[in-house]
């Protein structure tokens, strides 16, 4: 079976039209249509039904699509392995990380890493924890830096220091004692929260349920620094991870606790075990893990 036809079939299934698939594959529409017709002839059944200008998979086409993706994924892994064997200590390293990790950790680490490994080009993708999973599984990134959100048997991990849940407010606001605030006391303040895509938000929500408190939510945002700016201006208390850099703001910081135990989540570097890892990626993981143990937490409770 011709791999070119399989790639054409998957492209048409993904995009829904011959014209879009032809543009992506850089072939003519007539050549693409012939490939689909040849594949249908080889299979002995129709793959698509045409409705208007769009093509929709038949029931048999839907069943075949998953098998085709698997075959192409295996071929891609083999090609990647061959390429990695040729490259040695040079190449592209693709990394996914949340925005606060890129800002607070990687901006300072990458220049240091580049001095030791000048032939490795690091390509960053901004992605929150759960959004990294499909990127790792499809091989679109080599490693992800994220909170450990459950055991995935296909992922290997480097454990990093825990990331604490912090409360940040204007310095004039009385916020907890001795650098700590219980979640029940915190819930009574107007809260500035990250949206549910952030691990710290899901951890905070779980702690609220356990503590049987209903938080007073003033704002939810995907931009951590929006919350810090509002907190500095006295509009509420921002709930943030300790990996977020907050030193540019005049804030009082307290560690959020429940029953005197800090709310915290394990931080990890992860990669998909079945996929090949270049040698320079493994070295990057070890070097970055050592650096993060050195600098985390980025933000700490206020001394006063």
Per the CB < 8 A criterion, the answer to whether 150 and 133 are in contact is no
Residue 259 tokens, joined: 């029953």
CB atoms under 10 Å from CB of 286, counted, come to 11
- Angle among Cα 297, 115, 268 to the nearest 5 degrees reads 35
Task: Please check the confidence at residue 95 and state whether its pLDDT lies above 80.
Answer: yes
- Residues 191-195, mean pLDDT to the nearest whole number: 96
- The model's confidence at residue 63, banded by pLDDT at 50, 70 and 90, is confident
How far is it, in rounded angstroms, from Cα 165 to Cα 300?
10
For 161-183, b/e burial (b = at least 16 CB within 10 A) is: bbbbbbbbbbeeeebbeebbbbb
Q: What percent of the chain has pLDDT over 90?
A: 39
The residue among 177, 179, 186 whose CA lies nearest residue 204 is 186
Per the CB < 8 A criterion, the answer to whether 165 and 200 are in contact is yes
The residue among 303, 298, 228, 288 whose CA lies nearest residue 93 is 288
How do residues 225-253 score in pLDDT, each as one tens digit?
Answer: 999 999 999 999 999 999 999 999 999 99
- Residues 95-110, mean pLDDT to the nearest whole number: 94
For the entire predicted model, the pTM comes to 0.66
How do residues 106-155 score in pLDDT, each as one tens digit?
Answer: 999 999 999 888 888 899 999 988 889 889 888 899 999 988 766 577 88
Q: What is the pLDDT of residue 277?
A: 77
């Amino acid at each position: 079976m011709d791999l070119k036809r399989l790639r054409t079939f998957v492209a048409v299934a993904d995009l829904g039209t011959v014209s879009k698939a032809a543009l992506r594959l850089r072939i003519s529409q007539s050549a693409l249509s012939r490939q689909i017709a040849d594949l249908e002839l080889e299979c002995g059944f129709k793959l698509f039904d045409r409705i208007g200008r769009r093509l929709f998979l038949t029931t048999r086409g839907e069943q075949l699509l998953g098998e085709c993706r698997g075959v192409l994924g295996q071929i891609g892994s083999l090609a990647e392995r061959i390429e990695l064997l040729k490259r040695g200590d040079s190449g592209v390293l693709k990394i996914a990380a949340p925005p606060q990790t890129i800002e607070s950790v990687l901006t300072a680490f990458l220049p240091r890493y580049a001095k030791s490994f000048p032939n490795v080009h690091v390509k960053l993708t901004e992605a929150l924890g759960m959004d990294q999973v499909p990127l790792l599984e499809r091989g679109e990134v080599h490693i992800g830096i994220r909170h450990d959100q459950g055991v995935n048997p296909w992922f290997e991990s480097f454990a990093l220091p825990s990331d604490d849940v912090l409360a940040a407010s204007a310095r004039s606001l009385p916020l907890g004692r001795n650098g700590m605030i219980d979640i029940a006391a915190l819930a009574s303040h107007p809260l500035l929260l990250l949206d549910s895509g952030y691990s710290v938000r899901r951890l905070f929500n779980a702690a609220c349920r356990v503590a049987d408190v209903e938080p007073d939510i003033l704002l939810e945002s995907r931009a951590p620094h929006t919350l810090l700016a509002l907190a500095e201006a006295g509009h509420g208390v921002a709930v943030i991870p300790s990996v977020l850099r907050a030193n540019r703001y005049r804030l009082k910081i307290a560690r959020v606790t429940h029953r005197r135990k800090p709310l915290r989540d394990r931080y990890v570097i992860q990669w998909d075990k079945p996929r090949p890892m270049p040698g320079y990626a493994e070295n990057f993981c070890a070097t970055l893990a050592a650096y993060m143990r050195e600098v985390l937490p980025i933000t700490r409770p206020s001394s006063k």
